[in-house]
Amino acid sequence: MSEFLIIGEALVDIVERPGQEPREFPGGSPANVAIGLARLDDDVELLTWFGDDERGASVLEHLTESGVKLAPGSNTAARTSTARAQIDAEGVASYEFDLEWRLPQITVAPDVRCVHTGSIAAVLQPGGSQVLELVRSARHQATVTYDPNLRPVLMGTAEHTKPIVEAIIDISDVVKVSDEDLAWLEPGVDPRDVARAWAARGPSLVIVTLGGDGAFAVTRDGHETHIPAPRVQVADTVGAGDSFMGGVIDGLGRAGLLGGDKRAALRAISTETIDAVLRQAIQIAAITVSRSGANPPTRAELEG
Protein backbone atom coordinates (compact mmCIF):
# COMPACT_ATOMS: atom_id res chain seq x y z
CA MET A 1 0.00 0.00 0.00
CA SER A 2 0.98 3.68 -0.15
CA GLU A 3 1.69 6.41 2.38
CA PHE A 4 -0.44 8.96 0.49
CA LEU A 5 -4.08 8.26 -0.38
CA ILE A 6 -5.75 10.70 -2.77
CA ILE A 7 -9.54 10.46 -3.04
CA GLY A 8 -11.36 12.04 -5.96
CA GLU A 9 -12.30 12.20 -9.58
CA ALA A 10 -10.30 11.08 -12.59
CA LEU A 11 -12.01 11.82 -15.89
CA VAL A 12 -11.47 12.86 -19.49
CA ASP A 13 -11.47 16.52 -20.55
CA ILE A 14 -12.90 17.08 -24.04
CA VAL A 15 -11.65 20.41 -25.37
CA GLU A 16 -13.50 22.02 -28.28
CA ARG A 17 -12.10 25.10 -30.04
CA PRO A 18 -13.64 26.96 -32.99
CA GLY A 19 -12.62 25.37 -36.29
CA GLN A 20 -10.76 22.48 -34.64
CA GLU A 21 -11.53 18.85 -33.97
CA PRO A 22 -12.26 18.07 -30.29
CA ARG A 23 -9.25 16.83 -28.33
CA GLU A 24 -9.37 14.59 -25.27
CA PHE A 25 -7.04 14.67 -22.27
CA PRO A 26 -7.08 12.71 -18.99
CA GLY A 27 -7.81 15.04 -16.09
CA GLY A 28 -9.49 15.59 -12.72
CA SER A 29 -8.15 17.72 -9.88
CA PRO A 30 -7.41 14.92 -7.36
CA ALA A 31 -5.86 12.81 -10.13
CA ASN A 32 -3.56 15.75 -10.92
CA VAL A 33 -2.56 16.00 -7.24
CA ALA A 34 -1.70 12.30 -7.22
CA ILE A 35 0.42 12.67 -10.36
CA GLY A 36 2.22 15.66 -8.88
CA LEU A 37 3.11 13.70 -5.77
CA ALA A 38 4.23 10.64 -7.71
CA ARG A 39 6.52 12.78 -9.86
CA LEU A 40 8.09 14.07 -6.64
CA ASP A 41 8.97 10.43 -5.82
CA ASP A 42 6.22 10.00 -3.24
CA ASP A 43 4.39 6.69 -2.76
CA VAL A 44 0.81 7.56 -3.74
CA GLU A 45 -2.44 5.74 -4.44
CA LEU A 46 -5.57 7.21 -6.07
CA LEU A 47 -9.05 6.13 -5.02
CA THR A 48 -11.35 7.17 -7.85
CA TRP A 49 -14.20 6.03 -10.12
CA PHE A 50 -13.94 5.53 -13.88
CA GLY A 51 -14.90 2.90 -16.41
CA ASP A 52 -13.09 -0.06 -17.92
CA ASP A 53 -13.49 1.46 -21.38
CA GLU A 54 -11.38 3.27 -23.98
CA ARG A 55 -11.41 6.56 -22.11
CA GLY A 56 -10.73 4.77 -18.86
CA ALA A 57 -7.72 3.10 -20.44
CA SER A 58 -6.30 6.53 -21.32
CA VAL A 59 -6.83 7.69 -17.73
CA LEU A 60 -5.14 4.58 -16.34
CA GLU A 61 -2.18 4.96 -18.69
CA HIS A 62 -1.84 8.63 -17.72
CA LEU A 63 -1.72 7.72 -14.03
CA THR A 64 0.63 4.75 -14.27
CA GLU A 65 3.08 6.63 -16.51
CA SER A 66 3.81 8.89 -13.53
CA GLY A 67 3.86 6.09 -10.96
CA VAL A 68 0.42 6.54 -9.38
CA LYS A 69 -1.11 3.34 -8.01
CA LEU A 70 -4.82 2.73 -8.51
CA ALA A 71 -6.91 1.68 -5.52
CA PRO A 72 -8.83 -1.59 -6.05
CA GLY A 73 -12.24 -1.11 -7.63
CA SER A 74 -11.46 2.37 -8.97
CA ASN A 75 -12.06 1.39 -12.61
CA THR A 76 -15.37 -0.44 -12.18
CA ALA A 77 -17.74 2.40 -13.10
CA ALA A 78 -20.24 1.86 -15.92
CA ARG A 79 -18.40 4.48 -17.97
CA THR A 80 -15.66 7.08 -17.68
CA SER A 81 -16.90 10.56 -16.83
CA THR A 82 -16.14 13.54 -19.06
CA ALA A 83 -15.86 17.31 -18.78
CA ARG A 84 -16.52 19.07 -22.09
CA ALA A 85 -14.88 22.50 -22.37
CA GLN A 86 -16.09 24.69 -25.23
CA ILE A 87 -13.58 27.48 -25.91
CA ASP A 88 -14.92 30.55 -27.71
CA ALA A 89 -13.02 32.92 -30.02
CA GLU A 90 -11.91 35.02 -27.03
CA GLY A 91 -10.53 32.00 -25.23
CA VAL A 92 -13.33 31.84 -22.65
CA ALA A 93 -14.39 28.32 -21.67
CA SER A 94 -17.84 27.04 -20.84
CA TYR A 95 -18.19 23.57 -19.34
CA GLU A 96 -20.60 20.69 -19.61
CA PHE A 97 -20.12 17.64 -17.39
CA ASP A 98 -21.19 14.04 -17.90
CA LEU A 99 -20.20 12.79 -14.51
CA GLU A 100 -21.09 10.00 -12.11
CA TRP A 101 -19.24 9.96 -8.80
CA ARG A 102 -19.22 7.26 -6.15
CA LEU A 103 -16.59 5.27 -4.27
CA PRO A 104 -15.76 1.57 -4.36
CA GLN A 105 -15.75 -0.13 -0.97
CA ILE A 106 -12.33 0.25 0.60
CA THR A 107 -10.61 0.24 3.98
CA VAL A 108 -7.78 2.71 4.48
CA ALA A 109 -4.52 0.78 4.94
CA PRO A 110 -2.75 1.26 8.29
CA ASP A 111 0.40 2.69 6.69
CA VAL A 112 -1.43 5.65 5.07
CA ARG A 113 -0.22 8.84 6.76
CA CYS A 114 -1.94 11.45 4.59
CA VAL A 115 -5.42 11.45 3.04
CA HIS A 116 -6.23 14.18 0.55
CA THR A 117 -9.52 15.05 -1.12
CA GLY A 118 -11.28 17.96 -2.76
CA SER A 119 -13.03 19.38 -5.79
CA ILE A 120 -16.07 17.62 -7.29
CA ALA A 121 -15.48 14.43 -5.28
CA ALA A 122 -16.13 16.11 -1.95
CA VAL A 123 -19.48 17.61 -3.03
CA LEU A 124 -21.22 15.58 -5.75
CA GLN A 125 -23.53 12.84 -4.47
CA PRO A 126 -23.64 9.98 -3.80
CA GLY A 127 -19.85 9.93 -3.61
CA GLY A 128 -19.51 13.11 -1.57
CA SER A 129 -21.04 11.55 1.54
CA GLN A 130 -18.86 8.47 1.06
CA VAL A 131 -15.75 10.66 0.86
CA LEU A 132 -16.63 12.48 4.09
CA GLU A 133 -17.24 9.20 5.91
CA LEU A 134 -14.01 7.62 4.67
CA VAL A 135 -11.88 10.67 5.47
CA ARG A 136 -13.40 10.94 8.94
CA SER A 137 -12.65 7.25 9.59
CA ALA A 138 -8.99 7.70 8.58
CA ARG A 139 -8.32 10.85 10.59
CA HIS A 140 -6.99 9.01 13.65
CA GLN A 141 -4.06 7.66 11.63
CA ALA A 142 -3.56 10.23 8.87
CA THR A 143 -3.18 13.94 8.27
CA VAL A 144 -6.18 15.19 6.30
CA THR A 145 -5.59 17.73 3.52
CA TYR A 146 -8.32 19.42 1.50
CA ASP A 147 -8.62 21.68 -1.54
CA PRO A 148 -12.23 22.80 -2.24
CA ASN A 149 -11.34 23.60 -5.90
CA LEU A 150 -14.92 24.66 -6.48
CA ARG A 151 -16.90 23.97 -9.66
CA PRO A 152 -20.03 26.18 -9.52
CA VAL A 153 -21.51 24.64 -12.69
CA LEU A 154 -21.80 21.32 -10.82
CA MET A 155 -22.09 22.44 -7.22
CA GLY A 156 -25.06 24.78 -7.41
CA THR A 157 -25.13 27.93 -5.32
CA ALA A 158 -22.52 29.11 -2.85
CA GLU A 159 -25.17 28.91 -0.12
CA HIS A 160 -25.69 25.21 -0.89
CA THR A 161 -21.97 24.43 -1.18
CA LYS A 162 -20.64 26.33 1.85
CA PRO A 163 -21.92 23.91 4.55
CA ILE A 164 -20.43 20.97 2.66
CA VAL A 165 -17.06 22.72 2.42
CA GLU A 166 -17.13 23.65 6.09
CA ALA A 167 -17.94 20.08 7.15
CA ILE A 168 -14.70 18.91 5.52
CA ILE A 169 -12.72 21.86 6.86
CA ASP A 170 -13.80 20.83 10.35
CA ILE A 171 -12.01 17.46 10.03
CA SER A 172 -9.02 18.73 8.01
CA ASP A 173 -5.51 19.50 9.20
CA VAL A 174 -4.42 21.46 6.12
CA VAL A 175 -6.68 23.40 3.75
CA LYS A 176 -5.56 25.00 0.49
CA VAL A 177 -7.94 27.29 -1.39
CA SER A 178 -7.62 29.81 -4.21
CA ASP A 179 -8.64 33.44 -3.93
CA GLU A 180 -10.98 32.82 -6.89
CA ASP A 181 -12.78 30.07 -4.99
CA LEU A 182 -13.17 32.35 -1.98
CA ALA A 183 -14.56 35.15 -4.15
CA TRP A 184 -17.36 32.79 -5.21
CA LEU A 185 -17.94 31.14 -1.85
CA GLU A 186 -17.61 34.28 0.30
CA PRO A 187 -18.25 37.23 -2.03
CA GLY A 188 -17.00 40.57 -0.78
CA VAL A 189 -15.10 39.09 2.18
CA ASP A 190 -11.33 39.59 2.49
CA PRO A 191 -9.59 36.23 1.80
CA ARG A 192 -7.47 36.72 4.92
CA ASP A 193 -10.57 37.03 7.05
CA VAL A 194 -11.94 33.81 5.57
CA ALA A 195 -8.62 32.02 6.14
CA ARG A 196 -8.55 33.15 9.76
CA ALA A 197 -12.11 31.96 10.30
CA TRP A 198 -11.36 28.59 8.72
CA ALA A 199 -8.19 28.13 10.80
CA ALA A 200 -10.25 28.83 13.92
CA ARG A 201 -12.50 25.87 13.00
CA GLY A 202 -9.64 23.41 13.60
CA PRO A 203 -7.09 23.10 10.74
CA SER A 204 -3.47 23.67 11.72
CA LEU A 205 -2.79 25.47 8.45
CA VAL A 206 -4.95 27.31 5.89
CA ILE A 207 -3.23 28.36 2.67
CA VAL A 208 -4.68 30.77 0.12
CA THR A 209 -3.17 30.92 -3.36
CA LEU A 210 -3.14 34.30 -5.11
CA GLY A 211 -2.17 33.42 -8.67
CA GLY A 212 0.75 35.54 -9.79
CA ASP A 213 0.97 37.12 -6.33
CA GLY A 214 2.05 33.91 -4.62
CA ALA A 215 0.34 32.53 -1.53
CA PHE A 216 -0.22 33.24 2.14
CA ALA A 217 -0.80 30.93 5.08
CA VAL A 218 -2.61 31.31 8.39
CA THR A 219 -1.94 28.96 11.30
CA ARG A 220 -4.37 27.82 13.94
CA ASP A 221 -2.71 30.12 16.50
CA GLY A 222 -3.07 33.14 14.20
CA HIS A 223 0.40 33.43 12.67
CA GLU A 224 0.41 34.65 9.07
CA THR A 225 3.05 34.54 6.35
CA HIS A 226 3.17 35.43 2.65
CA ILE A 227 5.50 34.20 -0.09
CA PRO A 228 5.53 35.95 -3.49
CA ALA A 229 5.60 34.08 -6.79
CA PRO A 230 8.43 34.30 -9.32
CA ARG A 231 7.70 35.95 -12.66
CA VAL A 232 7.39 33.35 -15.40
CA GLN A 233 6.13 33.19 -18.96
CA VAL A 234 2.71 31.57 -18.57
CA ALA A 235 1.65 28.97 -21.15
CA ASP A 236 -1.60 28.25 -19.31
CA THR A 237 -2.76 27.79 -15.73
CA VAL A 238 -4.21 24.29 -16.11
CA GLY A 239 -3.30 22.17 -13.09
CA ALA A 240 -1.42 24.95 -11.31
CA GLY A 241 -3.44 24.69 -8.10
CA ASP A 242 -3.27 20.90 -8.11
CA SER A 243 0.51 20.89 -8.54
CA PHE A 244 0.76 23.48 -5.73
CA MET A 245 -1.29 21.18 -3.49
CA GLY A 246 0.99 18.26 -4.24
CA GLY A 247 3.97 20.43 -3.36
CA VAL A 248 2.44 21.32 -0.01
CA ILE A 249 1.74 17.69 0.89
CA ASP A 250 5.22 16.62 -0.20
CA GLY A 251 6.86 19.45 1.72
CA LEU A 252 5.03 18.63 4.93
CA GLY A 253 5.92 14.97 4.51
CA ARG A 254 9.61 15.72 4.05
CA ALA A 255 9.43 17.91 7.18
CA GLY A 256 8.15 14.91 9.16
CA LEU A 257 4.75 16.45 9.84
CA LEU A 258 2.34 13.92 8.30
CA GLY A 259 0.43 11.24 10.19
CA GLY A 260 -2.09 11.16 12.99
CA ASP A 261 0.72 10.89 15.51
CA LYS A 262 2.26 14.11 14.11
CA ARG A 263 -0.85 16.25 14.64
CA ALA A 264 0.61 18.10 17.63
CA ALA A 265 3.85 18.76 15.74
CA LEU A 266 1.90 20.09 12.77
CA ARG A 267 -0.03 22.43 15.03
CA ALA A 268 3.32 23.76 16.29
CA ILE A 269 4.78 24.17 12.78
CA SER A 270 7.48 26.82 12.62
CA THR A 271 7.48 29.89 10.41
CA GLU A 272 10.62 28.61 8.71
CA THR A 273 8.94 25.33 7.80
CA ILE A 274 5.80 27.05 6.50
CA ASP A 275 7.90 29.34 4.33
CA ALA A 276 9.93 26.43 2.95
CA VAL A 277 6.77 24.46 2.13
CA LEU A 278 5.17 27.46 0.41
CA ARG A 279 8.32 28.23 -1.58
CA GLN A 280 8.49 24.68 -2.89
CA ALA A 281 4.78 24.63 -3.78
CA ILE A 282 5.04 28.00 -5.56
CA GLN A 283 8.11 26.84 -7.49
CA ILE A 284 6.26 23.70 -8.58
CA ALA A 285 3.23 25.73 -9.69
CA ALA A 286 5.49 28.16 -11.57
CA ILE A 287 7.04 25.30 -13.54
CA THR A 288 3.58 23.89 -14.26
CA VAL A 289 2.18 27.15 -15.67
CA SER A 290 5.27 27.62 -17.82
CA ARG A 291 4.22 24.67 -20.00
CA SER A 292 0.94 23.57 -21.49
CA GLY A 293 -1.54 21.43 -19.61
CA ALA A 294 -1.48 19.83 -16.17
CA ASN A 295 2.17 18.80 -16.37
CA PRO A 296 3.83 19.11 -12.93
CA PRO A 297 7.59 18.71 -12.59
CA THR A 298 9.53 15.66 -11.50
CA ARG A 299 11.83 15.78 -8.47
CA ALA A 300 14.82 16.01 -10.82
CA GLU A 301 13.28 18.98 -12.67
CA LEU A 302 12.47 20.72 -9.41
CA GLU A 303 15.98 20.32 -8.01
CA GLY A 304 17.80 20.77 -11.33
Strand partners, 114: 4, 143
Is the pLDDT at 93 greater than 80, yes or no? no
Contacts of 246 (CB under 8 A, 6+ apart): 32, 33, 34, 35, 36, 37, 40, 281, 284, 296
Distance of CA 246 to CAs 44, 117, 192, 216, 278, Å?
11, 11, 22, 16, 11
- pLDDT-based confidence at residue 89 (cuts at 50, 70, 90): low
Least confident interval from 41-45, 80-84, 87-91, 141-145: 87-91
What pLDDT, in 10s, does the model give residues 262-286?
Answer: 999 999 999 999 999 999 999 999 9
Is the pLDDT at 88 greater than 80, yes or no? no
Tell me what pLDDT residue 236 has. 77
At 148, phi and psi to the nearest 5?
A: -55, -40
Amino acid identity of residue 88, one-letter, is: D
Strand extents, DSSP E, 88-185: 93-98, 114-118, 143-147, 174-178
Strand partners, 175: 146, 206
What pLDDT, in 10s, does the model give residues 38-58?
Answer: 999 999 999 999 999 999 999
Tell me what pLDDT residue 234 has. 83
Is the pLDDT at 2 greater than 80, yes or no? no
Distance of CA 303 to CAs 240, 246, 252, 285, 300, Å?
18, 16, 17, 14, 5
Cα angle 64-68-69, degrees, rounded to a multiple of 5: 95
Q: Which of 123, 72, 133, 68 is nearest to 101 (CA)?
A: 123
Q: Which of 186, 187, 207, 188 is nearest to 196 (CA)?
A: 207
Report the chain's mean pLDDT, rounded to a whole number: 93
Q: What is the pTM of this model?
A: 0.95
Is the pLDDT at 73 greater than 90, yes or no? yes
Give the C-alpha separation, 151 to 116, whole Å.
Answer: 18
Is the pLDDT at 65 greater than 70, yes or no? yes
Distance of CA 24 to CAs 53, 121, 181, 298, Å?
14, 21, 26, 23
Domains of the chain plus CATH, in order, are: 4-303 (3.40.1190.20)
